[in-house]
A and B are shown apart, each in its own frame.
Chain A
Amino acid sequence: MASTGAGKVTDLSAYRAVLASRMRAQASYRASFALDLGSSLLVGVVELAEIAVLYTSVHGIGGLDLAAILLVFGLADLSFSLADMAFGHCDDLPTLIRAGTIDVFYLRPQPLLAQLVTSDISLRRIARGGVGLVVLVIALAINDVPWSPAAVLLLVLALLSGLVTFGSLFVTAAGCQFFLVNGAEMTNAFVYGGRYGATQPASVWGRPLVVLFGFFFPMAFTAYLPVVTLLGLPGLDGLPTWLGWCAPVAALWAVVLAALAWRVGVRHYQGAGG
């Protein structure tokens, strides 16, 4: 009964069917969707304003001037918004657990995590990603970027790694939420705290923050370190400037962390011991 040959291909079509129907459903409530797009845009603009207020009141913070921080903000916000669009609904896991609807996922022949991730997509977050993209383009124009194939490669690597890193962060949070059903807000500390940290110059952090958001949750690698490498700025104390090239390594670590958290979380939910 179970087909084997074309298995993988048809499996993907199941995910595609669910995602396509989610997108249609969102777009069909036009007024509501427009409102969501607008508010998502506004969130992006307000976050930009907060950064702008700080960096226009002084000349440079943590070794970055306004132009450089815009580059950091643009990179981080674009990759975070895209990750949020694809993975953000993982934050609803506590609701699914409380309502028991997570059990329904167990009754379908796909991996749980794949089902959770593809169970929704928040198209509205594209507006916030748009803010990130516009800021990124402007920042690339106003900064003194030493353009070369290597510079382009570095930017692309940073964006992709950032996307993977932030996506992994959402999955890590979901894994923890199996334990924290009524205290799910705790994971906001590293998901949304991490996003906030990713738009900062990591050079202003004390040692504990560098350990936490520089390496354990590798936020500094999503934007700040690649920008430092790209613009040839002094980066973190005592660490080489080329560290920004390690963004893919950081992303890989984030994936490992997410896989571990998810595995432990699911085992806890099934009661097989942590």
Chain B
Amino acid sequence: MLVSARAPILLRLVAAGVRQQTAYPLAALAGLVANVTFGFLKVAVLLATVEAAGGELNGYDAGTMSAYIWISQGLLGSVNLFGRTEIAERIKSGDVVVDFLRPLDVHAAAVATDVGRSLWALLPRGVPSVVIGAVVVGMAVPTSVAGFLLGAVSMVLGIVVSCTTVYLVAATGFWLVETRGVQILYMVVSGFLAGLFVPIGLFPTPLFAVASATPFPSMMMYPVDVLSGRVAGWDAVGLVAAQAGWLVVTAALGQQMTRRGRHKLEVQGG
């Protein structure tokens, strides 16, 4: 048992999410192999880009660029950029009515289980990918203990924001018969604006503004910037504050949508 029976219910759901994932070690290894292969391809082209720019490009040098690549690859297993969730299936099929019968906040429970799954993925996918990158390519790290701590906070916040945001995709199922459109849109847009293949720091100004106005950079780009030390001091605190802001916004929206969705089910019977 990871968490004792008396632990608050949400913590136990997080633990349940972890246990679900440990059942598939081969899947974790497979994800790691894919992540690392992509990582090396990104290293090749992005370090060549930094080199072509004379060793420094919009605040990225070889060390911070490498850190960006390996941390973002490591976060891939933990940050949901696909838009698919278990709860989405339950809402779409109407099975969620059963969940409403339990003395448990459906929104909070779904997010907690997801967070557990995502945190666990840091172990088999996140850590090895960062270690491989650090050993083979080398990368920048924060220069102070405070920077590390803030980085850790930022990473956890990023994971939680990813779970609260992707829940919103699922919650559209209360009203839409087919949520696949929303899910696909999320999938295409989230990776790009979260800075998966190109850091948003390299975006032209208008595109950068668009990305900053969405929760997506909070999931991946900001934690990477803080953890790699590219952004430090009060600027880093600012990024973490932005993440906290997005967490509040997406969580409140999720609560609201769940309440209305429940109301709709009760009135119209699904």
Q: Are A183 and B178 in contact (CB under 8 A)?
A: no
Min distance, Cβ B186 to any Cβ of chain A, angstroms: 10
Q: How far is the CA of A39 from the CA of B190 in the complex (A)?
A: 13
> Which residues of chain B come closer than 8 Å to A49, judged between CB atoms?
192
A117 close to chain B: CB less than 8 A: no
> Which of A85-93, A108-116, A190-198 is near enough to bind chain B?
A190-198
* Chain A residue at minimum C-beta to C-beta distance from B188: A42
> Which residues of chain B come closer than 8 Å to A193, judged between CB atoms?
34, 37-38, 41
Chain A interface residue count, CB cutoff 8 Å, equals 39
Q: Are B44 and A54 in contact (CB under 8 A)?
A: no
Q: How far is the CA of A192 from the CA of B192 in the complex (A)?
A: 16
Q: Are A57 and B202 in contact (CB under 8 A)?
A: yes
> Which of A97-105, A142-150, A202-210, A264-272 is near enough to bind chain B?
A202-210
Min distance, Cβ B156 to any Cβ of chain A, angstroms: 25
Q: How far is the CA of A187 from the CA of B254 in the complex (A)?
A: 35
Q: How far is the CA of A180 from the CA of B31 in the complex (A)?
A: 12
Min distance, Cβ B5 to any Cβ of chain A, angstroms: 31
Chain A 164-199, CB-CB to B under 8 Å as 1, else 0, gives: 000000000000000010111110111011001100
Q: Which residues from 21 to 56 on chain A have a C-beta closer than 8 Å to any C-beta of chain B?
A: 32, 35-36, 39, 42-43, 46, 49-50, 53-54, 56
Min distance, Cβ A169 to any Cβ of chain B, angstroms: 13
Q: Are A185 and B34 in contact (CB under 8 A)?
A: yes
Known contacts: A58-B49, A197-B41, A204-B44. The answer to whether A53 contacts B30 by CB under 8 A is no
> Which of B51-59, B94-102, B114-122, B141-149 is near enough to bind chain A?
B51-59
Q: Are A186 and B41 in contact (CB under 8 A)?
A: no
Q: Are A43 and B188 in contact (CB under 8 A)?
A: yes
Q: How far is the CA of A57 from the CA of B208 in the complex (A)?
A: 14
* Chain B residue at minimum C-beta to C-beta distance from A206: B44
> Which of A35, A61, A184 makes the CB contact (< 8 A) with B48?
A61
> Which residues of chain B come closer than 8 Å to A204, judged between CB atoms?
44-45, 47-48
> Which residues of chain A come closer than 8 Å to B36, judged between CB atoms?
189
Min distance, Cβ A80 to any Cβ of chain B, angstroms: 15
A200 close to chain B: CB less than 8 A: yes
B26 close to chain A: CB less than 8 A: yes
A8 close to chain B: CB less than 8 A: no
Min distance, Cβ A88 to any Cβ of chain B, angstroms: 15
A62 close to chain B: CB less than 8 A: yes
Taking each of B26, B30, B41, B46, which has the highest tally of chain A beta carbons within 10 Å of its own beta carbon?
B41
> Which residues of chain B come closer than 8 Å to A196, judged between CB atoms?
38, 41
Min distance, Cβ A22 to any Cβ of chain B, angstroms: 18
* Chain A residue at minimum C-beta to C-beta distance from B52: A58
A60 close to chain B: CB less than 8 A: yes
B204 close to chain A: CB less than 8 A: yes
Q: Are B37 and A189 in contact (CB under 8 A)?
A: yes
* Chain B residue at minimum C-beta to C-beta distance from A213: B41
> Which residues of chain A come closer than 8 Å to B9, judged between CB atoms?
none
Chain B interface residue count, CB cutoff 8 Å, equals 39
Min distance, Cβ B65 to any Cβ of chain A, angstroms: 12
B24 close to chain A: CB less than 8 A: yes
Q: Are A46 and B192 in contact (CB under 8 A)?
A: yes
> Which of A32, A188, A200 makes the CB contact (< 8 A) with B178?
A32
> Which residues of chain A come closer than 8 Å to B181, judged between CB atoms?
35, 39
> Which residues of chain A come closer than 8 Å to B204, judged between CB atoms?
53, 56
> Which of A53, A59, A60 makes the CB contact (< 8 A) with B202?
A53
Min distance, Cβ A54 to any Cβ of chain B, angstroms: 6
> Which of B27, B49, B198 makes the CB contact (< 8 A) with A182?
B27
Q: How far is the CA of A197 from the CA of B42 in the complex (A)?
A: 9
Min distance, Cβ B168 to any Cβ of chain A, angstroms: 18
B175 close to chain A: CB less than 8 A: no
> Which of A35, A60, A188 makes the CB contact (< 8 A) with B180?
A35
Q: How far is the CA of A209 from the CA of B41 in the complex (A)?
A: 8
> Which residues of chain A come closer than 8 Å to B189, judged between CB atoms?
46
Min distance, Cβ B66 to any Cβ of chain A, angstroms: 13
A-side residues, CB < 8 A to B, are 32, 35-36, 39, 42-43, 46, 49-50, 53-54, 56-62, 180, 182-186, 188-190, 192-193, 196-197, 200-201, 204-206, 208-209, 213
Q: List 27 A-B contacts (CB under 8 A).
A: A36-B184, A46-B188, A46-B191, A46-B192, A50-B192, A53-B204, A54-B46, A56-B204, A57-B53, A57-B57, A57-B58, A58-B52, A60-B52, A61-B49, A183-B26, A186-B34, A189-B34, A189-B37, A189-B38, A197-B41, A200-B44, A201-B48, A205-B44, A206-B44, A209-B40, A209-B41, A209-B44
A-B interface, 8 closest residue pairs, ranked by CB to CB distance from nearest: A183-B30, A186-B30, A183-B26, A189-B37, A204-B48, A185-B30, A39-B184, A58-B52
- Told that A53-B203, A58-B49, A182-B26 touch, could you supply 6 new A-B pairs with CB distance under 8 A? A46-B192, A53-B198, A53-B207, A54-B49, A57-B53, A209-B44
